[in-house]
Amino acid sequence: MKHRTLGPLDVSEIGFGTMSFTGIYGAAPDRAEAIRVIRGAFDHGVTFFDTAEAYGPFSNEELVGEALAPIRDKVVIATKFGWNIDSETGERHPGLNSRPDHVILAVEGMLRRLKVETIDLLYQHRVDPAVPIEDVAGTVRDLIAAGKVRHFGLSEAAADTIRRAHAVQPVAAIQSEYSLWTREPEPEILPLCEELGIGFVPWSPLGAGYLTGTVNAETPLAGEDFRNASPRFTAEARTANKALVDLLAAVATEKSATSAQVALAWLLAQRPFIVPIPGTRRLDRVIENVGAAQVALTVDDLARIERALAAIPVVGARLPEAVLQYSYR
């Protein structure tokens, strides 16, 4: 697989988001199978793995740490702090917490769980309005100086926040939701990343599975599946947004590819510093996603897709309001 750069980081152009192993989409595979899938991703060229203390909490970092321990020196591991989680017990409390003392404690726990001496990329998971971003960036700068962190990232941050943070500690990567049906980063965030030399990591690049064409209005979702609370996954929204799926399917047929591969190839074509992190619990899907790197979309293909997208209104907010309130601050 080809590689790309996220700021100073060299990574595979397709990464792997591991959140789905926490059961957020329903029952997760057992630990041995999860480890097999994560290691299988590496065997197929993936070198960039994404987790967070909030996934579990803690259990996903422990899983990723165990899975990647034998190949630690060959991969880049990203994790995230910022929710109000007790660093010892994992108990969740309401809201956010990026106070410097809390971040320092959080990082100590991450190092233990990931079985690493240094975290390659440390994101603030969501911007905490109670803590100036300069203080957060300064705390991460100190952690970098101490050898506990290599690079700093922000997730779902607004352009002004990114610029202010970058002035204190250079930001290597921005992670925000971005896909064919979620394009909020395009007006401000992507141009800013280009200006400042920051990489961009789209999470949910396959629209939580919808853009793969495997989810329709009749598809049952497990009771614990987070999509049950998503405005875009009501039966009405899934029906209304089918035009997106049809568009991807048509292009996929022309390219002898899958809809998921076209959706990922479209992201790769947007900027050379974009590295999507699709997540899955199945190794065959990992292999399919990695294959997106071989799908070539021409200038004409991209223009045709853009014209089609302009005529397709997306129905439903991308996240429930309770979660969306923490974005772009």
Question: Which residues are annotated as catalytic?
Answer: 55
- What are the structure tokens assigned to 220, written together? 């049952």
Query: Can you point out the beta strands (E) in the chain?
Result: 3-6, 9-12, 16-17, 48-50, 76-81, 83-85, 92-96, 119-124, 149-155, 171-177, 199-203
> 45 with 1: CB under 8 angstroms?
yes
Residue 148 burial (CB count, 10 A): 19
Cis peptide upstream of residue 57 (ω within 30 degrees of 0): yes
Who contacts 2 (Cβ-Cβ below 8 Å, separation ≥6)? 12, 13, 293
Burial class (CB in 10 A: 0-12, 13-18, 19+), 220: exposed
Phi-psi region of 302 (alpha: psi -120 to 50; beta: other; left: phi over 0): alpha
Burial class (CB in 10 A: 0-12, 13-18, 19+), 313: exposed
Residue 304 burial (CB count, 10 A): 15
Q: Token match 């233990």: residue?
A: 112
Q: Token match 């809809």: residue?
A: 259
User: Which of 65, 67, 140, 52 minimizes the C-alpha distance to 102?
Assistant: 140
Q: How far is CA 116 from the centre of its chain?
A: 21
Report how far apart the first and last C-alpha atoms of the chain are (Å, whole number). Answer: 35
